[in-house]
Structure 1
Amino acid sequence: MRLKRVLAIVLAAGMACASLTACGSKTAESSAADTSGATTAADTTKADDKKEGSGEKKVLSVTTWDYDSSPQFQAVVDAYMKENPNVEIKVIDTSADEYNNSLGISLSAAQPDPDIIWVKDMGSMLQMADKKQLLPLDDFMKKDSFDTSVYNGAAEQLQYNGVTYGLPYRSDWYVLYYNKDLFDAAGVAYPSNDMTWDEYNELAAKMTSGEGSSKVYGGHNHTWQALVTNWAVQDGKHTVVDKDYSFLKPWYESALSLQDNGYIQDYSTLKTANIHYSSVFKNQQCAMMPMGTWFISTMIQSRASDETSFNWGIARIPHPADTETGYTVGALTPLGISAYTDEPDLSWDFVKFATSKEAANILAEQGVFTGIQTEESLKTIASAQFFPEGESNIEALSYTHYSFDRPLDPQIEEIRKVLDEVHEMIMIKQYTVDQGIEELNKRVAEIKGW
């Protein structure tokens, strides 16, 4: 199947957000079986609705954002109802930028709607768990002998205080993008799917050429602190919430070395000029760039619209020297159940289905990367028009271990702000690496009360 429409349109709307951005502006609830008859959430989120299904149908309510423009939700809802004709699913649809606030208000009323919650970000999941607004899933999982190994460690990382409040639904993770035409012109072999970060640095040096406005950089680091700290937590031995941040030292030294040698653009220039990573890669100003899977859609759109014409590819993200290939870093969209649901068993049945291999293959047809990667789903996504040709590009989408860029910590947003501030000071050399680590240790300890 050649998905000519899917990854040019759907991925841009669904994956580029990567569970962090917002689109759309409406708030409504509707039956997934008849989205044309949408009414306001205030009119329809009543416990009585569950008794008003047609015939003997049971009714489940799910809360999502930007439902009409998000096939990653629609596809699995429609598939579940097709397999379960005795169930009607009502969708409480809210714009992405209003979603967490609207959901918080709804849950504070402790009403049975919604039954099922798509969690937009980890911070909100922790808040809901702390307020006991999410139903623990462990008893359901134990009863069904539920196998979490299909998520390659992601399900375990979603546990909070040893309790499972959600299962992986959608997923985005880091890969390495590269410009095939630049490599061909230089007569250099493409990046492999088993490359260490030291080898990446050597390749970046080899692929750097030119001067001034015509210079091509071997690599590119966007200004996010994640483009340094991610590789320090890639092996799963540390997280960005720690008592001692000395484990970051070699990674900052590596980033500064690349910058000082001119193999990547310097942080100050990128920050001051507000240069977006997509323009750097699209304008062929760099040969390689670590970035999330959501950027695949951007490049496919770019080729489809003739904005770009060069050939590009992807490889697995490079790995530390003492770590095997296949380790990556990313973020998840979990799916959970409201603690106030009056349909706990049916809600669990939906969650099981929506996070299953079957659903993964269904969602792959919509260009959606899920919490489970199967050979079938990866090949479906890779069959899209303008996706890079070659088996190595399909292999690049697979991973063996998945670490969160941000751990499940109730104070992660405060800590992230500190990480961002110290990252900037290190990269503009207002702090030495050692001074930055000392500052992180001090300020995070104050936040955590250590």
Structure 2
Amino acid sequence: MKISRIASALFLLAFVAAGAAGCSLGRNMEADSGIVAEGRSAADGVKEGRVKITVSVWDNANSPQFQAMAEAFMEKNPDIDVELVDIRSDEYNNKLTVLLAGNESDPDVIMIKDADTQISMREKGQILDLTSYLARDGVDLSIYNGAAEQLQMDGKQYTLPFRQDWYVLFYNKDLFDAAGISYPADDMTWEEYEKLAEKMTFIKDGEAVYGTHHHTWMALVSNWAVQDGKHTLMSGDYSFLKPYYEQALRMQNAGVIQNYASLKVSNIHYTSVFEQQQCAMVPMGTWFIATLVQDRKAGNFDFNWGVTRIPHSAGIPAGSTVGSVTPIAVNAKSDVPDQAWEFVRFATSEAGAEVLADNSVFPAITTPGVVSRLASIEGFPEDGKAALSVKNFVFDRPVDAKMAAVRKVIEEEHDAIMIGEEDIDTGIANMNERAEEARSR
């Protein structure tokens, strides 16, 4: 079996680590390595003429979309068997690094958990340039709403967007009804959002209700500044962030949002703030939809909630949003690259997107058919369909080898600005200087 080479590589890593710690190896080799093979495989009797491909995934037991994708692909491609290489989520990046460093042909298809890691994979020659396949098969990259182009490196396409999450606006319908104010529109500017939040700031049953809630992530300021697609967090001058910091501080000073320092010190999660009805709105990623659906079903809260498109700056069309993607690639050492590409092509097509949507996972494609499937998720608000339609998709942070270092210094200055330790101009000046140093290392 192809999987045996993968297990052997990870077993060797486990053996070395255990030896260094003076441990004994008495358990099953694959259990020790944290890897499991699932799906039709050689051990199940691959018929003559069939080709087998392996696909690396994480936490497959809790992620049914991976197996569903493999089964849908095999149904359409009966001459190809798919074997899932399941690795624990918290060990995925490290163990995938070990596998690829061994120049093995497995896994043939690579799910990339963190988009930034595709940079080192490309630099080490570990992932295949898909540009010729895309040209040969006439793949239209516009179906990904700009996400595919943002994954390109040196003008070449080494990965395609598999799934994605983007920012939308959640709101408490019951609080809006109680205040007699119309629900947030699906085409609203950030200025209109601020005014609506002011109206929705009031006292209910002796408790303060904030008009909206901004979590402590830097993204809750910087995302709106890069929403236009013209600026990124790798820009040399961060003055474009100033209007959004001014708005955040203005809302904080007016008591429209909770105090940043208090949230930071108390480590308060946005889920509790929204579910305990301490705020009327909260801008957050589409991953929050599953949380609300599950928590409402579990009885953690009983109010009616809604979701719509994230607000936008003037001049930017409604449906423009910010988020992140899970890319998928082909192992440059794969001994069946054509079949591996066929899997990638299917998984990133509208048919593959429908498989993800049917498993309550947000795909990188949001055609009307896909949106209808997502909107049919049990517990999803009937009037929330607009939030699922994306017109333009911008990465919250670009795919760049220096992004992690730059992000760290920007986050530190973000904290200083939001707690009042620095004024906005000083904080931005420090961002410019410190980010330049981080980029030059």
| C-alpha distance in 1 between matches for 2:388 and 2:38 | 35
Give the gaps of 5 or more residues in structure 2.
1-30
Contact 2:38-2:86 at 8 Å conserved across structures: no
Give the structure 1 partner of residue 361 of structure 2. Answer: 368
Higher relative contact order (CA 8 A, sep 6+): 1
1:427 corresponds, among 418, 423, 430, to 418
Tell me whether 1:300 sits opposite 2:307 in the alignment: no
Tell me the C-alpha RMSD between the 2 structures: 1.8
DSSP-derived class of the 2:202 partner: coil
Contact 1:25-1:94 at 8 Å conserved across structures: no
Give the structure 2 partner of residue 395 of structure 1. Answer: 386
**What are the equivalent positions in structure 2 for 1:191-202 lying under 5 Å apart?**
191-202=184-195
1:30 corresponds, among 33, 37, 49, to 37
Tell me whether 1:358 sits opposite 2:365 in the alignment: no
| C-alpha distance in 2 between matches for 1:123 and 1:25 | 28
> By how many angstroms is 1:69 displaced?
1.7
* Residue type at the aligned position of 1:208: T
Contact 2:110-2:328 at 8 Å conserved across structures: yes
> By how many angstroms is 1:278 displaced?
0.3
Runs of 4 or more above 6 Å deviation: none
Contact 1:31-1:88 at 8 Å conserved across structures: no
**What are the equivalent positions in structure 2 for 1:219-238 lying under 5 Å apart?**
219-238=212-231
Cα deviation, 1:305-344, whole Å, max 9, x if unaligned, reads 1111000100100000121111100000011011111111
Tell me whether 1:164 sits opposite 2:157 in the alignment: yes
| C-alpha distance in 1 between matches for 2:438 and 2:155 | 22
Contact 2:80-2:339 at 8 Å conserved across structures: no
Tell me whether 1:383 sits opposite 2:376 in the alignment: yes
Q: Percent identity?
A: 48
| C-alpha distance in 1 between matches for 2:206 and 2:431 | 36
Contact 2:323-2:394 at 8 Å conserved across structures: yes
> By how many angstroms is 1:374 displaced?
1.9
Cα deviation, 1:232-266, whole Å, max 9, x if unaligned, reads 00010100111100000000010000000000001
Cα deviation, 1:116-147, whole Å, max 9, x if unaligned, reads 00000112111111211111110111111211
Give the structure 2 partner of residue 109 of structure 1. Answer: 102
Cα 1:271–1:420 change in 2 (3 A) is same
Cα 1:357–1:258 change in 2 (3 A) is same
Give the structure 2 partner of residue 408 of structure 1. Answer: 399
Give the gaps of 5 or more residues in structure 1.
1-23, 35-48
> By how many angstroms is 1:367 displaced?
0.6
Cα 1:294–1:154 change in 2 (3 A) is same
> By how many angstroms is 1:32 displaced?
1.1
| C-alpha distance in 2 between matches for 1:198 and 1:212 | 29
| C-alpha distance in 2 between matches for 1:209 and 1:130 | 54
> By how many angstroms is 1:95 displaced?
0.4
Give the structure 1 partner of residue 323 of structure 2. Answer: 330
> By how many angstroms is 1:221 displaced?
0.3
Contact 1:171-1:330 at 8 Å conserved across structures: yes
How many aligned residue pairs are there? 410
**What are the equivalent positions in structure 2 for 1:43-442 lying under 5 Å apart?**
53-210=46-203, 214-390=207-383, 393-442=384-433
Contact 2:127-2:332 at 8 Å conserved across structures: yes
Q: TM-score, normalised by structure 2?
A: 0.90
* Residue type at the aligned position of 1:197: W
DSSP-derived class of the 1:426 partner: helix
Give the structure 2 partner of residue 44 of structure 1. Answer: none
Contact 2:405-2:439 at 8 Å conserved across structures: no
